[in-house]
Amino acid sequence: MVDVATLGTFAVAAVASLFMAWTIGAGSSGSTPFAPAVGANAISVMRAGFLVGLCCFLGAVFQGANVSEAVGEELIGGVTLSAEAATIALTIAATLVAIGVFTGYPIATAFTVTGAVIGVGFAMGGDPAWLKYQEIAALWLLTPFVGGGIAYLTARALREEPIPERHVVLILAAIVGVLLANIEFAVLGPPDGGASVAVTLSAWIPGPSAFGVVAATGLLAIAFTAALHRDMRAGTTIAERHFLLVLGGLVAFSAGGSQVGLAVGPLVPLSDDVGLSITALLLGGGVGLLVGAWTGAPRMIKAISQDYSSLGPRRSIAALIPSFAIAQVAILYGIPVSFNQIVVSAIIGSGYAAAASGGGVSARKMGFTVLAWAISFVLSIVVSFGAYRGVAWLLF
């Protein structure tokens, strides 16, 4: 039987986790996935906030386990996060993100949460998890270049004359179909893991398993492309806007799968003490993301869609495809990553591709954003370390 003191400390940490989930839903997860679609006038701000909340919730439940376990158990060695440490880390990280929401600058959530967990972990006497830090640093550093570079090349391909635009869009649809066929879902795998749609369907295809996966992937890519081709009968522009909305939903789903770990990850070490499964934690975190997206996301959606670049459907498609791919890589390897960084970097890349035709990127806005990212990471480590040491001194 769980004692009252344990339940009490967990309840306090859970409240901090819900606060964190709300700020994430109102900030990075709730704003960035549909910001390009809003910028392209494919959907209104309020409808985008409503849809992104639903997609984030589903992503949190079906794909949230990897990052949650990484944040809760793999950032610090030698110690297990206590309820007090989890509460301090989540409160400080959420406060920094909330400041970003209300000032209009998208703070990188992964930076603040990762920094806060590391800070309290060090304060508890934990050891650095150097291997995990290398993975995180590699993804964080490569994201602007890889995401921005792919978005730039994609946007240029959509503008070049030798290949008709509609053909390029169909090729991109096939690529998205391949990605969608091979991302993992918890409901398709064993109890302790996930499986992709392609792997699941391969069991019904005769021959070696590798052939079945390739065949299933090809069939899904063809189906995705055929659906978009059929939609083009009403016009390429309309089909592009529909494709853009689908991409926004996929990115929002990926945002839920990645970002929920930043909210509930610190609670993972405590869940066994109160008899909760990780599925229950993901459901709670998903609800927090949902409420945050519905109540706070419109402000940030407007800021990103209008302040960073004048977006059209083509450049928005170019921004969302690499965002979806990078997010799924982060989920697969359990790496906390910020959707502000992913999508904003892609928006910049697609924006530069059209700079000559009047599009542009606000260099001043981006300079302040990058500075805010760096400061929030360092500040979260320092403040969390000091806060935990101060609380420990007062209580013990």
Measure the CA–CA gap between 290 and 297, rounded to whole angstroms: 10
Phi then psi for residue 308, to 5 deg, are: -95, -30
Give me the residues paired with residue 185 across strands: 195
Q: Are 360 and 92 in contact (CB under 8 A)?
A: no
Cβ-contact 243, 169 below 8 angstroms: yes
Comparing 16 with 358, the larger pLDDT belongs to 16
Say yes or no to pLDDT of 309 above 50. Answer: no
Give the predicted TM-score (pTM) of the model.
0.85
Q: pLDDT tens digits for 50-103?
A: 888 899 999 999 998 899 999 988 999 888 888 888 888 888 887 887 777 676
| Tens-digit pLDDT profile for residues 101-153 | 676 665 678 888 999 999 999 999 999 999 999 999 999 889 888 988 998 88
Residue 308 has pLDDT above 50, yes or no: no
How high is the pLDDT of residue 130? 92
Nearest CA to 82 out of 166, 13, 183 is that of 13
Dump pLDDT digits (tens) for 148-173: 899 888 888 877 667 777 888 889 99
Hey, what amino acid is at 256? G
Task: For residue 353, name the pLDDT band (cuts at 50, 70, 90).
Answer: low
- Residue 82: the pLDDT is 84
Q: Kindly report the average pLDDT of the chain as a whole number.
A: 82
Question: Is 271 in a helix, a strand, or coil?
Answer: helix
pLDDT of res. 121: 93
Residue pLDDT, tens place only, 202-224: 888 887 788 888 998 999 999 98
Three-state secondary-structure class, residue 1: coil
CA distance from start to end of the chain: 26
